[in-house]
Structure formats: C-alpha cells, structure tokens
C-alpha cells in the first residue's frame, strides 16, 4: 500500500518541475520515484518474488534496444560532431530512471492489482495537486517560488503549459478507465468528476495539442463503447439497440447529403476551429507552426547525416530562424518537438522501431483485455507525441506499463523462485 502510494506521488510530482528539493537540483518527483525503486529492490533482495510476464520481457527488451542504440549514437556523435554534455546527462538519467521504474512495476507479483491501486492513488493526488495549483493561479493562496502563468496560459507547477496539458490528458483517461471498470458507485462518481476537472485544467493551458487530443480521444472512446455495446448485446432485441443500428446505417447517406451544405459554410467552421486555439489562429499559432516545420525538417536532416544511427541522448537540432522573434529563453541545441523525430536523432531508426513496437504491444494488450478507456489512453499518447517529446515523462511510461500489464494472461505468468527457497 505504501509503495503504491509512493509510486503515484512520484509520478504526479514528476510534472511539478518548478518545485525542487531544497539544496538539491532534483525535484520531488525524482526523489519519490528513487525511493520507490530502492524499496522495490529491497523487497527483491529480502527474498520477495518477481514474475517474468510478457509485459516485463517486452519492457526489458525495449530498454535493452534503447541502451544499445543510444550508446552507439553517442559514439557516432563523439566522432562526427560536438557533444553537449548537459542534454546528454539529463536524458541519460531520465532514461535510466524510467527503465528501472517500468521493469520493476511489470515484475511485481500481482502487478495489475498494484498498478490499479497506484492508479487510484494517482488520480486522487493529481486532482488534489491540480486544485491547489488552480487556487494558487487565481491568487487565492500565496504562490511562493512558483510562476503559475506563462503569459495568459496556465502552467501551475510545471515548466511550461504543454507539460501540464500532457499530464492532464493522461490523468483524465486513467480516471475514465478506473471509473468505467469499478463496481463501486462512489469510485465511479469520483472518477468521472476527475475526468471533467482535469479537462478544465487542461483547457486553462490553452494547448492546441490538448484540445485536439481530447476531442479525438473521447470520440475514440465513444466509438469503442458503441462497438462493445453492440457486440455484447448479441442477439438480444431492444429498442435502443435497433435505433442505434438504424442511426449508424443512415449516417452514411445523411453525411453525403449534408456535405454540400458543410462545404458552403467552410468559413464558419474554420472560424470556429480557430476560436478554439490559444490565440484564435493568430500570429502566435502561425509562428508555432513555422517553428515546428523547421525543427522537423532539421531533425530529419540530422538523423540522415548520422546514417540513421543517431547522435545519442539529448537535443541535436540547430538554432531556428524564429529565434529573434520568440522562444528567446530556449538554449541550443533544440529538440524537434516530435517524439519520433527526436528519438530518430538520438538512437536512429532502430530506436524508432523499438518505440513503435512497445507502443503497438501496449495497444494490442489493451485491445486483448477489452479495455476501451486504455485503448483511448494510448491514442491520446500517440496524438500528443506528434508535436511534443513525451517519452521522458514518467506518467507516459506509467500508462504504457499499465496497458501492457492489463493484457498479460495470468495463466501463463512464470515466477522466479527466490534463491533461499531452492
């Protein structure tokens, strides 16, 4: 119970990058996650059991591939370019921490029960901390050492609004999963309330990625729920089921018939879409899109010049032309702000394939377990990873491990017997 709560607290506080332990360069998230790792290793050394599940072997294989590609990429960078040790050390520490956390989570006896318990702790701690951040943001309590706003965008305790938006997107889907899979009425009510509250905080960040991710994610969940309902209904004839089938059948000709009217009002739809963005599609949105395109093209060139072998951990993209207009606080080199392209510059093509494989395994696991909210959760991570680098965040790997463990067949779990018992 204590370790489950400690893990949840560490994952949540990992997003509070403005807060740091006094007298230390590390944040509270790193501190509590390190304590959880030490307790987990101590349990194993004391004779505790571990389980070699498919989730564990998948994660161990992924991190083994990442270690090899990043190490080889570092050698390539040392021989061909200038190494920036700050980014190298930062990313190496982050990957090492994440590898330990994910493998130890998956190797826990009865990992699904422990992760589910940690999930409940996580949404409780997350929503409590988000409530405190919002109260601080509106100035109702003091904000000592914290800048809650980035201009007009809310960032709470995070370094930037996009980081908080990522955490809100995953918090909401985890809450939705727990709410839809519990038999406790109060738990279901709390979970649904957390979904709405995290969405509210996410919108305060004015993150366009959060808006698009939320829309697509909840539409995906709704579609999966309709599919599940129709499938489980079987041959049972009911008025709601017949009405839904007729609606789905009639949706195709209905869509075709209203298409000319929709196209004629395209300007209205465009204005509505722009009104949802952080500055209503103005200059800031155009400059952000310009910056993204430059960074993505530069990342592709960097990766190709390395022979698709990568250049090791850390950012590798050069100074963008928009430096004089915005983002003056950024230091060189830059990240590509795309998970696939950033990983391509770090570990090359093999690391990208490894990431695609582990994400696909998590999606397949959630599909096998017939957990619609977890499938939608993976959709949200994939969409959010397009304009951002997300694989260094513990919350992302907590979600991926959660999905991998959820679909692990319990009948085929192999247990490692402690040496003392042999």
Would you give the end-to-end CA distance of the chain in angstroms? 29
Six-digit token pair at 119?
């999930």
Q: What is the pLDDT of residue 269?
A: 38
Least Cα distance to 405 among 115, 204, 169, 35 occurs for: 115
Name the one residue in this structure whose structure tokens are 């997003």. Answer: 15
Judged by DSSP in three states, 416 sits in strand
* Burial call 352-369: b when 16+ CB within 10 Å, e when fewer: bebbeebbebbbebbbeb
Judged by DSSP in three states, 18 sits in coil
Six-digit token pair at 416?
């490692």
Interacting residues of 307 by C-beta distance below 8 A, sequence separation 6+: 76, 348
Name the one residue in this structure whose structure tokens are 């389980």. Answer: 51
- Torsion sign, CA atoms 326, 328, 334, 338: negative
Residues 95 and 70: beta-carbon distance below 8 Å: yes
DSSP state of 414: E
State how far the Cα of 382 lies from the Cα of 213, in Å rounded to an integer: 9
In terms of Cβ atoms closer than 10 Å to its own Cβ (0-12, 13-18, 19+), residue 22 is exposed
Six-digit token pair at 317?
């993209």
Name the one residue in this structure whose structure tokens are 């004015």. Answer: 206
Give me the residues paired with residue 150 across strands.
153
At 27-83, the pLDDT tens digits run 899 999 999 999 999 999 998 888 888 999 999 999 999 999 999 999 999 888 877
Domain boundaries, the chain: 2-237+278-421, 238-277
Task: Kindly give the confidence (pLDDT) of every residue in the chain, 422 residues in length, as a single tens digit, with 9 standing for 90 and above.
Answer: 788 999 999 999 999 999 888 877 788 999 999 999 999 999 999 988 888 889 999 999 999 999 999 999 999 998 888 778 888 999 999 999 999 999 999 998 888 999 999 999 999 999 999 999 999 999 888 877 889 999 889 999 999 999 999 999 999 999 999 999 988 889 999 999 999 999 999 999 999 889 989 999 988 888 888 877 777 655 555 555 555 455 555 545 545 554 554 445 444 434 434 444 455 555 555 666 777 788 888 889 988 998 899 999 999 887 766 555 444 444 567 788 899 999 999 999 999 999 999 999 999 999 988 899 999 999 999 999 998 999 999 999 999 999 999 887 654 444 444 433 33
State how far the Cα of 143 lies from the Cα of 136, in Å rounded to an integer: 6
Q: What is the pLDDT of residue 417?
A: 40
325 φ/ψ angles, rounded to the nearest 5 degrees? -100, -30
Name the one residue in this structure whose structure tokens are 């601080």. Answer: 136
State how far the Cα of 297 lies from the Cα of 291, in Å rounded to an integer: 10
At 370-418, the pLDDT tens digits run 899 999 999 999 999 998 999 999 999 999 999 999 887 654 444 444 4
314 φ/ψ angles, rounded to the nearest 5 degrees? 105, 165
Judged by DSSP in three states, 129 sits in helix
The angle, 0 to 180 degrees and rounded to 10, between the axes of the packed helices 185-204 and 161-180 is 160
State how far the Cα of 324 lies from the Cα of 71, in Å rounded to an integer: 35
Interacting residues of 148 by C-beta distance below 8 A, sequence separation 6+: 133, 136, 137, 154, 155, 156
CA dihedral 232, 116, 108, 170 (to 10 degrees): 100
State how far the Cα of 13 lies from the Cα of 18, in Å rounded to an integer: 10
Least Cα distance to 334 among 306, 304, 294, 295 occurs for: 295
Measured over all CA atoms, what is the biggest interatomic distance in the chain, rounded to whole angstroms?
76
State how far the Cα of 35 lies from the Cα of 9, in Å rounded to an integer: 11
């Amino acid at each position: 119970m204590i370790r489950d709560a400690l893990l949840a607290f560490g994952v949540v506080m990992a997003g509070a990058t403005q807060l740091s332990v006094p007298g230390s360069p590390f944040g509270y998230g790193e501190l509590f996650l390190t304590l959880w790792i030490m307790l987990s290793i101590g349990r194993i050394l004391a004779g505790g059991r571990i389980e070699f599940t498919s989730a564990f072997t998948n994660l161990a294989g992924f991190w083994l591939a990442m270690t090899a590609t990043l190490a080889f990429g570092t050698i390539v960078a040392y021989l061909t370019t200038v190494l920036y040790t700050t980014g190298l050390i930062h990313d190496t520490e982050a990957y090492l921490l994440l590898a330990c956390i994910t493998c130890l989570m998956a190797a826990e006896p009865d990992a699904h029960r422990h992760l589910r318990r940690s999930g409940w702790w996580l949404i409780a701690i997350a929503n409590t901390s988000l409530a405190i951040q919002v109260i601080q943001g509106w100035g109702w309590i003091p904000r000592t050492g914290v800048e809650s706003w980035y201009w007009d965008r809310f960032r709470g305790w995070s370094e930037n609004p996009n980081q908080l938006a990522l955490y809100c997107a995953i918090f909401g889907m985890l809450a939705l999963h727990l709410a839809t899979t519990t038999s406790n009425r109060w738990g279901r009510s709390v979970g649904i309330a957390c979904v709405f509250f995290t969405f509210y905080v996410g919108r305060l960040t004015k993150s366009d990625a959060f808006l698009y991710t939320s829309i697509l994610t909840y539409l995906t969940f709704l579609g999966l729920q309709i599919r599940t309902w129709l499938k489980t209904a079987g041959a049972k004839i009911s008025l709601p089921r017949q009405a839904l089938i007729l609606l789905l059948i009639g949706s195709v000709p209905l869509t075709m018939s209203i298409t000319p009217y929709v196209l004629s009002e395209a300007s209205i739809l465009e204005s509505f879409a722009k009104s949802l963005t952080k500055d209503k599609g103005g200059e800031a949105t155009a400059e952000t899109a310009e910056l993204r395109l430059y960074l993505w093209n530069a990342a592709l060139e960097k990766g190709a010049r390395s022979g698709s072998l990568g250049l090791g951990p850390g950012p590798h993209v050069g100074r963008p032309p928009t430096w004089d207009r915005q983002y003056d606080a950024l230091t060189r080199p830059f990240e590509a702000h795309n998970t696939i392209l950033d990983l391509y510059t770090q570990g090359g093509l093999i690391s990208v394939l490894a990431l695609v494989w582990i994400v696909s395994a998590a999606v397949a696991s959630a599909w096998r377990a017939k957990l619609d909210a977890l499938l939608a959760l993976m959709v949200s991570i994939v969409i959010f990873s397009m304009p951002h680098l997300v694989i260094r965040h513990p919350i992302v790997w907590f979600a991926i491990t959660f999905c991998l463990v959820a679909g692990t067949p319990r009948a085929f779990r192999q247990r490692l017997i402690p040496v003392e018992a042999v």
